[in-house]
Amino acid sequence: MRDLAAELAAIRAADLYRKPLCIEGTQGPVLLVGGRELLNFCSNDYLGLAADPRIADALIDAASRYGTGSGAAHLVCGHSAEHAALEEELAAFTGRPRALLFSTGYMANLGVIAALVGRGDSVFEDRLNHASLLDGGLLSGARFARYPHGDVSALAARLADAGGERLVVTDGVFSMDGDIAPLAELARCCQAHDAWLMVDDAHGFGPLGQGGRGSVAQAALGLKDVPVLVGTLGKAFGTAGAFVAGSEELIEYLIQKARTYVFTTAMPPALAAATRVSLRIVIAEGWRREHLAALIAQFRAGAQALGLRLLDSPTPIQPVLVGDAGAALAAAARLRERGILVTAIRPPTVPPGSARLRVTLSAAHTPEQVERLLAALAVALAG
């Protein structure tokens, strides 16, 4: 048997040990942890909707009407009128004929990739793709290859030699670097090589594009360019779950073949009802994106003035590179001493030698809070 205690000790010795943080109260720019208030700069609640009372009220009202559980998988008796309505509204939001709900983004990615490719086929993934996309490719049974981050020329060379069905998979916004994939170039490359293009826009929906429609919309790409579009609801939308948007045929095929859809209990109907309210807020309240963009510009200007090592990110994800995992942990601890919560991201989430403080901004933050973060970073990274 494996010596789990020894392996855990080795993880701890390498400064790679992880444990969950216990939050008291709601999500927001200020969190209560162990009875102490901490200014929160590590959430994916980009539009500040996770504790919006309008969404909470919709959830409570729907739970009183539909109960707390769906009771079954979508294909048994778990598909409610709220699920159907949300799917229709997400399809309209993305400008696609159909959308399909999944319980989580991880399950959506696993299910879609395995449904579209298998033995004898090929799947190509950006080297910095999220773990769910990489796992989906590996578990599909297809020939699996990773291309250098954002390198469309390298991808094209690999596609030219591939057989069977060819699927290219990328994040729209990369979760640890905050940069945006070269989506227009990827779309042209895939069309030239008769390959599917799948974009997981988990971190793009909400902050980017007209009405928050994401990085694909921001790049002015449509269904022909990106046949498979995935989004999650637990980040900027402030609820939970995920969806895939595409053609009528794609969605019908996934209903038949995506095992993580067929064999999983549907999300609670009340959650779908709450997400419908959230979706309306995302579209209507453009001031949230405008305010968020101003905060991003403020943070980047202040960080550059301090000489901090930033990556080239135009999104709410603003990593501050540290390098060593232990140094990143120490910097995060010094921030927490000053009442600031920022997560130290370490391998294997990021490559060795690129540990970082992953700063994330929200429309719920104020300019004053950003200035407080910058002042704390100046001290924490000074050693």
Instruction: List active site positions.
Output: 175, 203, 235
Q: Residue-wise over 254-265: b if at least 16 C-beta within 10 A, else e?
A: beeebebbbebe
* 46 marked as binding residue: no
Asked if 29 and 362 count as a contact pair (C-beta separation under 8 A), the reply is yes
* 106 marked as binding residue: yes
The whole-angstrom separation of Cα 372 and Cα 211 is: 30
Residue matched to tokens 């919709």: 58
Q: Identify the bridge partners of residue 318 per DSSP, sorted by sequence position.
A: 359
* 130 marked as binding residue: yes
- Counting DSSP H helices and E strands in the chain, the numbers are 14, 13
Sheet with 343-345, edge to edge strand ranges: 317-323, 355-360, 343-345
* 315 marked as binding residue: no
* 336 marked as binding residue: no
Give the three-state DSSP class for 123: strand
Give CA torsion, residues 24, 27, 29, 30, to 10 deg. -10
The whole-angstrom separation of Cα 338 and Cα 97 is: 50
For residue 201, give the nearest of 263, 221, 191 by alpha carbon.
221
Cα 292 versus chain centre, distance: 17
Helix (H) or strand (E) holding 362: none
Token readout for 72 is 């079954």
Q: How far is CA 47 from CA 96, 286, 292, 303, in A?
A: 24, 10, 8, 22
Give the three-state DSSP class for 101: strand
* 203 marked as binding residue: yes
Token readout for 191 is 């069309």
Residue matched to tokens 């990827």: 186
- Residues belonging to the binding site for substrate are 18, 130, 349
- Residues belonging to the binding site are 18, 105-106, 130, 175, 203, 232, 349
- Residues belonging to the binding site for pyridoxal 5'-phosphate are 105-106, 175, 203, 232
